[in-house]
């Protein structure tokens, strides 16, 4: 979702290459040796109002998780450039922005004037994460809330939202470390926007050892929304990323608190609601936010192929594995439910 703040927002995009949840870091490190991609850090952009924004005193640490190597780059060494382009070996990277940065702005009518500082607070996750691979680029967002200055929508690199855009009652909640506290007994009604992740923290609605489910409702015709559920130790316990209406997540409660992340897949504004729901374990022919499925033999075959299916949830890919690799035959009932033959 997009940052929904009372005030303006600025987003600095760190561009690297495509994303992935990868295992076997040592093996990947060996395979990636000598294969490079580019991390590009935009520093300057111009808004629809014509105002120009620039990141200053930006000190970045770029850490390679696979090798343990890191390098540091400084925006002041690139004052004549609009981006910092760093060629690195493919792999997982953490990009940390040290806190001594600031933003300045030059209004459109002041072409010959100096930049002037503007108040801005970093509100997105820091460090940012990216997987760099050859010939592919993905974006990681550093999001700032502006205190003043011209308002409007800026292009790639820095984004400023008009005041009131994408507002709801739960903002600011764009950071994993400072989610908005809620109770899922009362449904959430909120808004997604580009470059905005919404985070909510809540106490388990059921005792330890019992199942609970969460449904994020939205119209996929407007835009796609995805969601992730974390436990209090920030471990991912469930995820919803279908390309249809609504996402359902669930887990067996540990009795503690949980964090829900709701975010836009295609960076388009949309409304959504969040509430509790019920669900069952997959019958191996349908999906479920629970890991595993009811046929032990098929489950073992599927999870041997993809451990995700027994550790996080039984998604569409798990069903495909069950059918195409494990020989499961499914049929559609009169109620449009997939069941095993």
Which of 110-114, 126-130, 138-142, 307-311 is least confident? 138-142
Q: What is the CA radius of gyration of the chain?
A: 22
Which of 10-14, 33-37, 88-92, 224-228 is least confident? 10-14
Distance CA 199, CA 177 (A): 9
Distance CA 269, CA 282 (A): 32
Q: Residue 288 has what pLDDT? A: 85
Q: What is the mean pLDDT of the chain?
A: 75
Cis peptide before 172 (omega within 30 of 0): yes
What average pLDDT does this structure show over 121-125? 72
Q: Residue 171 has what pLDDT? A: 83
DSSP state of 275: E
Q: Residue 149 has what pLDDT? A: 39
Scanning the structure block, which residue is given the tokens 């450039």?
Answer: 81
pLDDT tens readout for residues 174-232: 777 789 999 988 889 998 876 678 899 999 999 998 889 899 999 988 889 999 999 99
Q: Sketch the domain layout of the chain as residue ranges.
A: 8-146, 180-277, 296-340
Q: Residue 160 has what pLDDT? A: 45
Is residue 11 within 8 Å of residue 120, measured between CB atoms? no
Distance CA 207, CA 4 (A): 33
pLDDT confidence tier of residue 254, bands split at 50, 70 and 90:
very high
Which of 15-29, 55-69, 75-89, 300-314 is least confident? 15-29
Distance CA 230, CA 59 (A): 30
Check pLDDT > 80 for residue 133.
no
> What is the pTM for the complete model shown?
0.52
Q: Residue 216 has what pLDDT? A: 95
Check pLDDT > 70 for residue 19.
no
Alpha helices in 173-278 (DSSP H): none
The count of other CB atoms within 10 Å of the CB of residue 11 is 25
pLDDT confidence tier of residue 255, bands split at 50, 70 and 90:
very high
Which of 56-70, 131-145, 217-231 is least confident? 131-145
Give the residue from 178, 63, 52 showing the smallest Cα distance to 110: 52
pLDDT tens readout for residues 284-315: 998 887 888 989 999 999 999 998 888 878 88
CATH 2.60.120.380 is the classification of domain 180-277: yes
Q: Residue 162 has what pLDDT? A: 42
Most confident of 28-37, 115-124, 331-340: 115-124
User: Is 317 in a helix, a strand, or coil?
Assistant: helix
């Amino acid at each position: 979702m997009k940052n929904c703040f009372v005030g303006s927002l600025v987003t600095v995009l760190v561009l690297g290459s495509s994303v992935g949840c990868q295992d076997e870091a040592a093996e990947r490190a060996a395979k990636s040796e000598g294969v490079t991609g580019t991390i590009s850090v935009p520093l300057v952009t111009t808004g629809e109002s014509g105002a120009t924004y620039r990141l200053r005193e930006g000190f970045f640490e770029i850490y390679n998780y696979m090798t343990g190597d890191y390098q540091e780059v400084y925006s002041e060494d690139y004052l004549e450039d609009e981006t910092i382009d760093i060629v690195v070996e493919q792999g997982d990277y953490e990009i940390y922005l040290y806190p001594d940065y600031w933003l300045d702005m030059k209004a459109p009518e002041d072409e010959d004037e100096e930049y002037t500082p503007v108040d801005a607070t970093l509100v997105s996750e820091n460090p940012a994460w990216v997987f760099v691979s050859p010939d592919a680029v993905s974006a990681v967002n550093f999001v700032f809330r502006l205190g003043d200055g011209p308002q409007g929508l800026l292009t790639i690199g820095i984004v400023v939202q008009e005041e009131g855009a994408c507002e709801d009652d739960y903002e600011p909640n764009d950071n994993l470390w400072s989610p908005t506290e809620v109770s899922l007994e009362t449904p959430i009604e909120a808004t997604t926007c580009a470059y905005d992740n919404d985070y909510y923290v809540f106490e388990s609605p059921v005792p330890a050892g019992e199942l609970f489910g969460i449904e994020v409702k939205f119209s996929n015709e407007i835009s796609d929304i995805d969601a992730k559920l974390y436990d209090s130790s920030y471990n991912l316990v469930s995820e919803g990323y279908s390309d249809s209406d609504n996402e359902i997540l669930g887990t067996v409660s540990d009795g503690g608190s949980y964090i829900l992340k709701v975010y836009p897949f295609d960076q388009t504004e949309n409304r959504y609601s969040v509430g509790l729901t019920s669900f069952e374990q997959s019958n191996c022919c349908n999906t479920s936010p629970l890991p595993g499925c009811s046929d032990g033999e098929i489950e073992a075959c599927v999870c041997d192929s993809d451990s995700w299916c027994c550790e996080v949830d039984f998604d569409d890919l798990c069903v495909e594995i069950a059918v195409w690799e494990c020989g499961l035959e499914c049929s559609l009932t009169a109620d449009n439910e997939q069941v095993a033959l």
